[in-house]
Structure 1
Amino acid sequence: MTTSEIQAVFIDRDGTIGGSEEVIFPGSFELFPFTTDSLRTLKNADILIFSFTNQPGVSRGDAQFDDFQDELTSFGFDKAFICPHQHGEGCTCRKPSPDMLIQAALEYGLKLKNCVVIGDRWTDMIAAQRAGCMKVLVKTGSGEKDMAKYRSNQFFGEWLEAVPDYIAEDLSDAVKWIIMK
Structure 2
Amino acid sequence: MKLLILDRDGVINEDSDAYIKSLDEWIPIPSSISAIARLSRSGWIVAVATNQSGIARGYYDLATLESMHARLRQLVTEQGGELGLIAYCPHGPDDHCECRKPKPGLLWQIAAHYATDLAGVWFVGDSSSDLQAALTVDCQPVLVKTGKGERTLTRPLPPGTLVFDDLAAVADQLLTS
Deviation at 1:56, TM superposition (A): 0.7
Counterpart in the other structure of 2:126: 120
The number of equivalent residue pairs is 166
Deviation at 1:69, TM superposition (A): 3.5
Q: Percent identity?
A: 27
TM-score of the pair, normalised by structure 2 = 0.86
CA separation of 1:80 and 1:26: change in aligned 2, threshold 3 A: farther
Distance 2:141 2:162 in 1: 7
Distance 2:151 2:176 in 1: 27
1:97-155: CA deviations, max 9, x gaps?
A: 111111111121122025211110011111111111112100111111111111xxxxx
CA contact (8 A) 2:10 2:126 kept: yes
Selected match of 1:144 from 128, 150, 171: 150
Alignment pair present for 1:17 and 2:12: yes
TM-score of the pair, normalised by structure 1 = 0.84
Counterpart in the other structure of 2:162: 166
Consecutive unaligned residues in structure 1, runs of 5 or more:
151-159
CA separation of 1:74 and 1:163: change in aligned 2, threshold 3 A: farther
Q: Which runs of 4+ in 1 moved over 3 A?
A: none
Consecutive unaligned residues in structure 2, runs of 5 or more:
74-82
Deviation at 1:68, TM superposition (A): 2.1
Counterpart in the other structure of 1:54: 51
CA RMSD of aligned residues (A): 1.7
More helix by share: 1
CA contact (8 A) 1:73 1:79 kept: no
CA contact (8 A) 2:85 2:110 kept: no
Secondary structure of the residue aligned to 1:81 is: strand
Selected match of 1:132 from 129, 138, 141: 138
Distance 2:174 2:162 in 1: 9
Counterpart in the other structure of 1:44: 41
